[in-house]
């Protein structure tokens, strides 16, 4: 089992509670060396709908050409590896994502975003709980736009599922999560994904009362830079 493998590699000492239980993946709070808090994302299954969309994301990405004809189990391993590789690329480019630590088959170990096993709120949750002032929201908005730009320019990636559900607010700053579906800017659909990301972010912040930039302006600025 991958968890045992990870503990013998010194990546993981123990698994504590469940942080989130989704359809395809479960995220646990774990402990590592020196009692460090960890987030352990375990990919469980792929629904057929997910598998179809996955193929859409993987097809044409030169890094993951070998997905064709693989068993569902191997596809999950590739998907976990894709998230790990995307996290590494973003983290190295200085984008605030959970620090990627270890990968073993369908299990990914990363920095825990939160304190004492209590995860930080998602942007959506922090907003709905009234924790964010309009000034905070405006700052976070520009930070997210800058993160999108860094992703494209410095990491060569487009997130592809960016929204208030995949941004956590930790120590007053946004942390971008859930990057398994992120694609290389060489991907044939990367422009479409980028447009969607910018659209989602614009919609959320504009509803929240932030004076947002026109999404088409952001997009064309971004594409000109490249
Ligand atoms: P979902 O379908 O619920 O969005 P997912 O498969 O997309 O699940 P993620 O979005 O990566 O998986 O993680 C699910 C949830 O687990 C997040 O919404 C967040 O609450 C929590 N989580 C993810 N990564 C971390 C982390 N590094 N530290 C703390 N909590 C995390
Ligand atoms: Mn998510």
Query: Is any ligand 1 atom within 6 A of the Cβ of residue 176?
Result: no
pLDDT at 202 over 60: yes
> Which residue is catalytic, options 61, 65, 135, 178?
178
Number of domains in the chain: 2
Cα 202 from Cα 40, distance rounded (Å): 31
Q: pLDDT-derived band of residue 116, with 50, 70 and 90 as boundaries?
A: very high
Measured in Å, residue 120 CA sits from the centre of ligand 2 at 14
Q: What is the pLDDT of residues 40-57, one digit of tens each?
A: 999 997 776 667 766 677
pLDDT of residue 73: 85
For residues 86 and 140, state if they share a domain.
Answer: no
DSSP 11: S
- Which atom belonging to ligand 1 lies closest to the Cα atom of 179? 11
For residues 219 and 130, state if they share a domain.
Answer: yes
Cα 57 from Cα 65, distance rounded (Å): 11
Q: Do residues 160 and 197 make contact, with C-beta atoms less than 8 angstroms apart?
A: yes
For residues 21 and 97, state if they share a domain.
Answer: yes
Angle between helices 190-207 and 134-150 (to 10 degrees): 170
Query: Is any ligand 1 atom within 6 A of the Cβ of residue 166?
Result: yes
- Residue 91 is part of which domain span? 2-115
For residues 13 and 35, state if they share a domain.
Answer: yes
Q: What is the pLDDT of residues 23-42, one digit of tens each?
A: 889 999 999 999 999 999 99
As a whole number, mean pLDDT of residues 72-96 equals: 94
Q: Do residues 19 and 39 make contact, with C-beta atoms less than 8 angstroms apart?
A: yes
For residues 124 and 107, state if they share a domain.
Answer: no
pLDDT at 226 over 60: no
pLDDT at 64 over 70: no
Neighbours of 221 (CB within 10 A): 12
For residues 180 and 150, state if they share a domain.
Answer: yes
Instruction: Provide the CB-side half-sphere exposure for 12 (13 A, CA).
Output: 27
Residue 178 designated active-site: yes
Higher pLDDT, 60 or 121: 121
> Of 112, 115, 111, 123, nearest to 169 (Cα)?
123
Whole-structure pTM value: 0.93
Q: What is the pLDDT of residues 131-156, one digit of tens each?
A: 999 999 999 999 999 999 999 999 99
Where among 83, 115, 147 does a domain terminate? 115
DSSP 24-85: SEEEEEEE-GGG-EEEEEEE----HHHHHHHHHHHTT-GGGGGGTT--HHHHHHHHHHHHHH
Where among 98, 115, 132 does a domain terminate? 115
Q: Do residues 164 and 181 make contact, with C-beta atoms less than 8 angstroms apart?
A: no
- Residue 83, domain CATH: 3.30.200.20
Residue 196, both tokens: 């969607």
Query: Is any ligand 1 atom within 6 A of the Cβ of residue 25?
Result: yes
For residues 61 and 147, state if they share a domain.
Answer: no
- Residue 199, domain CATH: 1.10.510.10
For residues 194 and 105, state if they share a domain.
Answer: no
Average per-residue pLDDT in the chain?
Answer: 92
For residues 95 and 67, state if they share a domain.
Answer: yes
pLDDT of residue 49: 67
As a whole number, mean pLDDT of residues 97-116 equals: 97
For ligand 1, atom 8, which residue shows the shortest CA distance?
22
Cα 172 from Cα 179, distance rounded (Å): 21
Tell me the pairing of strands 107-111 and 37-43: antiparallel
């Amino acid at each position: 089992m991958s968890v045992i493998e990870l503990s013998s590699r010194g990546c993981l000492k123990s698994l504590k509670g469940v942080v989130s239980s989704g359809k395809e993946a479960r995220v646990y709070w774990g402990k590592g060396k020196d009692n460090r808090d960890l987030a352990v994302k375990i990919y469980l299954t792929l629904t057929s709908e997910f598998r179809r969309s996955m193929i859409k994301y993987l097809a044409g990405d030169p890094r993951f050409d070998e997905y064709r004809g693989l068993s569902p189990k191997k596809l999950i391993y590739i998907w976990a590896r894709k998230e790990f590789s995307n996290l590494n690329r973003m983290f190295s480019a200085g984008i605030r994502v959970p620090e990627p630590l270890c990968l073993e088959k369908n299990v990914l170990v990363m920095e825990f975003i939160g304190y004492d096993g209590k995860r930080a709120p998602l942007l959506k949750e922090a907003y709905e709980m009234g924790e964010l002032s309009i000034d905070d929201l405006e700052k976070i908005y520009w930070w997210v736009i800058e993160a999108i730009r860094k992703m494209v320019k410095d990491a060569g990636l487009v997130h592809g599922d960016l929204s208030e559900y995949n941004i956590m607010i930790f120590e007053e700053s946004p942390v971008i999560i859930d990057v398994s579906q992120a694609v290389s800017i060489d991907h044939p659909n990367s422009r479409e994904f980028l447009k969607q990301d910018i659209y989602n972010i614009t919609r959320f912040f504009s509803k929240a009362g932030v004076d947002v930039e026109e999404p088409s302006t952001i997009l064309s600025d971004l594409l000109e830079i490249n």
